[in-house]
């Protein structure tokens, strides 16, 4: 089990000061434990979080006690994405938990060689299990997608012993779809008759009135003579 050391934190201390010291403000609660403020080392927590995620029990070691806990919630800085606060949920080894476990896709779908496109419609699955049975992730083997009609459902997943899915066994995890050809926008036909009528109208105007916009001039005295 992964161990993460934590120190008790005084709520009167500004969280910004804690972060400046290279630590992350945190809190643990659950399983009858009162909400307790703590702080964890930022670089160490990042490594633990990458390895354990939010579905693996870790050993949270404080100055007073060592607790089995889940990383329950991680608040991230909206600009740089670093963790700025962490919630740990204390668990009991005898109490089943409901958690969302990420799916890890492996392999290559033979259907892709036939021109198919793999559609991943599920990226995590909600399960129920004892803390000791919680998987870090669940593997989805895409090599089972052999043709255009193939699909992988929850029933096809190997969840492991003691793990119960909390979604329908018929829910689709991945499937194959045929590529759709882009439809060209229809081009409106040219009405040649309308063009001929328009041209004819212009010729009639020019023949009847000469240059449009001009009127016949009065002859000058010299012209009258």
Q: Is the pLDDT of residue 219 over 80?
A: no
Q: Is the pLDDT of residue 94 over 60?
A: yes
Distances (CA, A) of 33 to 29, 61, 92, 192: 5, 14, 11, 85
DSSP structural state of residue 50: H
Tokens 């001039």, residue? 217
How many whole angstroms separate alpha carbon 192 and alpha carbon 189?
9
pLDDT per residue over 110-156, tens digit each? Answer: 999 999 999 999 999 999 999 989 998 999 999 999 999 999 999 99
> What structural domains does the chain harbor?
2-91 (2.40.240.10), 98-177 (2.170.120.20)
**pTM higher than 0.75:** no
Helices (H), 82-220: 192-209
- Predicted pLDDT of residue 179: 81
How many whole angstroms separate alpha carbon 28 and alpha carbon 219?
107
């Amino acid at each position: 089990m992964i161990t993460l050391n934590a120190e008790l934190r005084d709520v009167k201390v500004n969280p910004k000061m804690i972060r400046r010291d290279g630590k992350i403000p945190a809190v643990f609660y659950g399983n009858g434990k009162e909400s307790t403020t703590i702080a964890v080392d930022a670089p160490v927590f990042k490594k633990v979080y990458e390895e354990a995620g939010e579905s693996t029990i870790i050993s949270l070691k404080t100055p007073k006690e060592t607790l089995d806990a889940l990383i329950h919630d991680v608040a991230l800085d909206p600009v740089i994405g670093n963790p700025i606060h962490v919630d740990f949920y204390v668990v009991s080894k005898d109490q089943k938990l409901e958690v969302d476990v990420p799916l890890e896709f492996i392999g290559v779908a033979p259907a892709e060689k036939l021109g198919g496109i793999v559609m991943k419609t599920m990226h995590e699955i909600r399960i129920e299990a004892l803390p000791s049975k919680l998987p870090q992730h669940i593997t989805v083997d895409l090599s089972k997608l052999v043709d255009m009609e193939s699909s992988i459902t929850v029933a096809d997943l190997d969840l492991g012993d003691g793990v119960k899915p909390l979604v329908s066994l018929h829910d689709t995890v991945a499937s194959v779809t045929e590529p759709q050809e882009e439809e060209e926008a229809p081009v409106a036909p040219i009405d040649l008759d309308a063009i001929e009528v328009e041209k004819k109208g212009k010729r009639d105007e020019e023949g009847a009135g000469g240059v449009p916009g001009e009127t016949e001039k009065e002859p000058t005295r010299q012209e009258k003579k």
